[in-house]
Every structure is written in structure tokens, then in C-alpha cells.
Amino acid sequence: MGAGTRDQAARDAVTVEIGFAVATGLLLAGALFLAAASPALFGVLDRAWEGAWLRGAGLVAGAGFAVRVVGVLRRFGATRQVAGDGHAVSGRP
């Protein structure tokens, strides 16, 4: 196995980790939006408050997405180690 294969494996690992971060971030954002917007969606709120409530739910969902993606990618970056030959390898603690 040459160095080119190892470099490709490292790039593939980063790509998979980004995909995982975005996918789980989207799931979390959807769950947060549904939870936060449920009073407006089920008619519990006064009509005057529905728009503001839905915007607030969108902000909560967006913040949850950002926190999840940044957290996953930071954790991935922290677990990457440098092997003895100077190539980056990934590993979980």
C-alpha cells in the first residue's frame, strides 16, 4: 500500500465525517424545529404569535444544526493523530 492510497483514505475519511456531521445535523435540526414549532403547528398559539414562533423555531433549529456539525468536526479533528511517518491517520479514543 503506497502513500497515495493512504492519502486517499484520509481524504475519504474526512468526506465521510463531513457527510455524517451534516446528516446528523439535519436530523437534529428537524427534531428541534418540530419540538419548538409544535405549539404553532397545532394551533395552541394565537394567530398573531404564530409567525414569530415559527421564526424562533427556525433559529433554534439552525443553531442546533450548527452546534452539531461543529461539534462532530471538532471531535474528528481532535482524534486525528500523526503516525510515525508523518501521515495523518484517524482513530477514535
Q: C-alpha grid cell for residue 88?
A: 495523518
For the entire predicted model, the pTM comes to 0.77
In this predicted structure, the answer to whether residue 4 has a pLDDT above a threshold of 80 is no
CB 54 within 8 A of CB 37: yes
Q: Exposure pattern of 66-81 as b/e (b: 16+ CB <10 Å)?
A: eebbeebbeebeeeee
pLDDT one-digit tens code per residue, 17-59: 999 999 999 999 999 999 999 999 888 888 889 999 999 999 9
